[in-house]
Amino acid sequence: MPQRSVVFVVFPDALLLDLSGPLAAFELSCETAGREPAPYRLTVASVAGGLVRTSSGLELMTRSLAEVGEVDTLLVVGGPGVHEAAAHGPLLQWLTAHAAQVRRVCSVCTGTFVLAAAGLLAGRRVVTHWGSCKLLQDRYPQLTVSPDAIYERDGPVWTSAGVTAGIDLALALIEDDRGHGEAIRVAKRLVVFLKRAGGQTQFSVPLALQEADDAGFEGLHRWISDHLMEDLRVEVLAERASMSPRTFARLYAARTGRTPAKVVEELRLDAARRALEETRQSIKEIATRCGFVDEERMRRAFRRQLGVSPQDYRDKFGAAEVGRFPSS
């Protein structure tokens, strides 16, 4: 394999982990190559070059984009400064001028906004941090935003979800270049899964609901979480909220962006996930305690939302010290 140039584009107030995670993955792939030249030449670049201050305050020494030469894989990171970067003319001009010569154009986390602003994502299926998916879709309606993907590949364009998903993206890129075995070796060195089960929203549901708490449903969400085994139909929740079912359903969806039934399933799923990770309870017991009634309904919910069965999820994420778990 010829040596490939991988260029990471940063800007003021970029998030350090968006860079360091995928950068480490490519670095370890170079280390495991065991030969010269290394499979990747890694460069951290910015528009002007020199020191760039990240959002953590740590400064990075960068090369200017004008000096990087031929690029095989371009990765634009995200961070608090991404929207200023997405309005920075020289950066967008460079991306527009060079994208056609780059084999792969990628973004980490909210770096997707920079690629979109440069006109590189029109008609593509993309992803960004779960908390910014709606903003991305609203701002760029010509895109198809995948709110639950860890990363998306659409032709030569690769985009990833929030922060640590940049590592998942880098592993996928390495697998694409150097094969499954190499990606496995790098994943082991990083002590991460090669392919995570489920999507980013499996981690975001409780946080998303907390964002909706200002809408007046904080108490209801706590009550639902404490009564997952009970009847949680819309009529029951509406009575709890002192509203008619129709008014409650309309107002709840408007304020939280989810239907009541969807939230109940997500909270049950979140509780089941934690039980699978942390306890020795059987899958049947967990299904009952979390309000799924039976194993099959919980299995369907896991397949629908996370893409895996409860047993597969437990095998991947169950705490090692808990030991072997009964399946039923």
Given 106, 109, 133, 290, which residue is catalytic? 109
Token pair of 49, please?
């070059």
Asked if residue 232 lies in contact with residue 268, where contact means CB atoms within 8 angstroms, the answer is no
Residue 307: the pLDDT is 77
Distances from the Cα of 57 to the Cαs of 16, 54, 227, 291, in angstroms?
A: 9, 5, 44, 46
Residue 322: the pLDDT is 40
Residue 326: the pLDDT is 43
**Which residues, 6 or more positions from 4, have their beta carbon under 8 angstroms from its beta carbon?**
39, 40, 41, 72, 73, 177
Asked if residue 77 lies in contact with residue 108, where contact means CB atoms within 8 angstroms, the answer is yes
Residue 201: the pLDDT is 62
The Cα–Cα gap between 40 and 31 comes to 10
Residue 281 has pLDDT above 50, yes or no: yes
With bands split at pLDDT 50, 70 and 90, how would you rate the model's confidence at 328?
very low
The Cα–Cα gap between 327 and 324 comes to 9
Question: Could you give the count of Cα atoms lying within 13 Å of 195 in the half-sphere of its Cβ?
Answer: 11
Overall residue count recorded for the chain in this entry? 328
Please compute the mean of the pLDDT values over residues 232-241 and round it to a whole number: 95
Comparing 237 with 35, the larger pLDDT belongs to 237
**Full set of structural domains in the chain with CATH:** 4-190 (3.40.50.880), 202-322 (1.10.10.60)
Please compute the mean of the pLDDT values over residues 91-100 and round it to a whole number: 96
Percent of the chain, pLDDT > 90? 66
Residue 273: the pLDDT is 86
Residue 324: the pLDDT is 40
Which pLDDT tens digit goes with each residue over 145-189? Answer: 998 888 999 999 999 998 899 999 999 999 999 998 888 888 888
Q: Mind giving me the DSSP string for 224-239? A: HHH-TTS---HHHHHH
> For residue 291, with 0-12 CB atoms within 10 Å meaning exposed, 13-18 middle and 19 or more buried, which class applies?
buried
Return the bridge partners of 62, or none: 50
With bands split at pLDDT 50, 70 and 90, how would you rate the model's confidence at 325?
very low
pTM of the model: 0.70
Q: For residue 222, what is the enclosing H or E element?
A: helix 218-226
Comparing 204 with 95, the larger pLDDT belongs to 95
Q: Mind giving me the DSSP string for 230-270? A: S---HHHHHHHTTS-HHHHHHHHHHHHSS-HHHHHHHHHHH
Q: Is 290 a catalytic residue?
A: no
Residue 130 has pLDDT above 80, yes or no: yes
Comparing 200 with 139, the larger pLDDT belongs to 139
Residue 92 has pLDDT above 60, yes or no: yes
Residue 193 has pLDDT above 90, yes or no: no
Residue 216: the pLDDT is 75
